[in-house]
Amino acid sequence: MLEANEVHHGYDDETVFEGVSLSVDPGEVVAIIGPSGVGKSTLLRLLAVFDAPDRGTIAFDGTPMWDATEQERLEHRRRIGMVFQEASLFDASVRRNAGYGVRVRQSWTERVRHEVASLVGKENGTTDVLEALETVGLTEKVDQDASSLSGGEAQRVAFARALAYEPDVLLLDEPTSDLDPRNTAVIEDAVRQARNRGIGVTIATHDMHQAERVADRVAVLLENDIIEVGDTETVFESPRDDRTRKFIDGDLIY
Ligand SMILES: Nc1ncnc2c1ncn2[C@@H]1O[C@H](COP(=O)(O)OP(=O)(O)OP(=O)(O)O)[C@@H](O)[C@H]1O
């Protein structure tokens, strides 16, 4: 569904990676693992169609995104949900924050209708928004101001915001890096639920145990390239590349 083909990318004169290929299909979780600074976030930004690769293609349903028109690109981008390391919520209720992605995807008329309904108290937020908040266990906080949430709760709202507009693809950048085990488990469970609903999920993480817990496939990003990609069990139990084994065992220090 969403794929990077032979992608090269860098910043200024620094090459981040060369000839990277990776795809994500509906209903699967793909983990990108690799040490800090190797380019996991960069690859997610390319897959999210935020930045154009220096070379190679990013294709969505077979359409090369950077050969498409601006309008086509926008339409495809709207089918992608991205959750960043920072939750970036604004100063409003949890409900408003979680509904943000839904609102920006609505037509002007739909938006006015929903605003009027909520002003006269006929609408408590769309079902999708409430369902997404339920998935991350935050239904009781819908009316709380986002600024009063804990870091873990804020991250869960950011996840719900992406889930609420029912994307076809979810890209998660270290979604649990600052979270305690309980909040981590909630997010990981939400990832599984998203997969079971047919969403293709790509998660960048340096937590190898997390990749082992949630991913169907694992891509190992090392030394400017994806050195290995395969089903999770194979990559962890019998990797083809010796560097993967060393990285997993903690013997490769970067
Ligand atoms: N906007 C930018 N301008 C210049 N260099 C950048 C930019 N974004 C990333 N880099 C550099 O590109 C390299 C890859 O960064 P990236 O954030 O993609 O790595 P990462 O694997 O996600 O790291 P981490 O696990 O620490 O988040 C790093 O050397 C980083 O300093």
67-125 tens-digit pLDDT: 999 999 999 999 999 998 888 899 999 999 999 888 777 666 666 666 666 665 555 55
pLDDT of residue 166: 87
Residue 136 tokens, joined: 């991350």
Beta strands 29-33; 200-205: pairing state = parallel
Domain range holding 143? Answer: 89-166
Neighbouring CB atoms inside 10 A of 13's CB total 5
Specify if 42 maps to a domain: no
Q: Which of 16, 43, 82, 224 most suits a substitution to test ligand 1, by most atoms within 8 Å of the C-beta? A: 16
pLDDT tier at 254 (50, 70, 90 boundaries)? low
**Is the C-beta atom of 40 inside 6 A of ligand 1?**
yes
The pLDDT score that the predictor gives to residue 85 is 85
pLDDT at residue 119 in the model: 61
Q: How remote is the CA of residue 38 from the centroid of ligand 1, in Å?
A: 7
For residue 70, the model assigns a pLDDT of: 95
The reply to whether 95 falls in a domain is: yes
ipTM of the shown complex: 0.96
Q: How far does residue 107's CA lie from ligand 1's centre (Å)?
A: 35
68 in a structural domain: no
Q: Is the CB of 13 under 6 A from ligand 1?
A: no
Within a domain: 161: yes
Q: Which of 27-36, 174-183, 244-253 has the highest mean pLDDT?
A: 27-36
Evaluate whether residue 192 is within a structural domain: no
Q: Answer whether residue 104 is part of any domain.
A: yes
Nearest CA to ligand 1 atom 18: 39
Q: Is the CB of 41 under 6 A from ligand 1?
A: yes
Q: Which atom of ligand 1 is nearest to the CA of 12?
A: 4
Q: How far apart are CA 214 and CA 135, in angstroms?
A: 16
Share of the chain above pLDDT 90, in %: 72
Average pLDDT, stretch 223-248? 93
225-231 sheet: strands from edge to edge: 80-83, 169-173, 200-205, 29-33, 217-222, 225-231
CA of 43, closest atom in ligand 1 = 18
How high is the pLDDT of residue 179? 86
Counting ligand 1 atoms within 8 A of each CB, the residue from 8, 9, 40 with the most, and so the one to mutate, is 40
d(CA 160, CA 142): 11
Residues 6-43 pLDDT 10s: 999 999 989 999 999 999 999 999 999 998 889 999 99
For the CA of 45, the closest atom of ligand 1 is 18
* Predicted pLDDT of residue 26: 96
Residue nearest to atom 23 of ligand 1 (CA): 37
pLDDT in tens, 1-10: 999 999 999 9
In a domain, 70, yes or no: no
How many distinct structural domains can be found in the chain?
1
**Is the pLDDT score of 160 beyond 90?**
yes
Please check whether residue 121 lies inside any domain of the structure: yes
Q: Which residues contact 3 (CB under 8 A, 6 or more apart)?
A: 21, 22, 23, 24, 58, 59
CA distance 242 to 224: 16
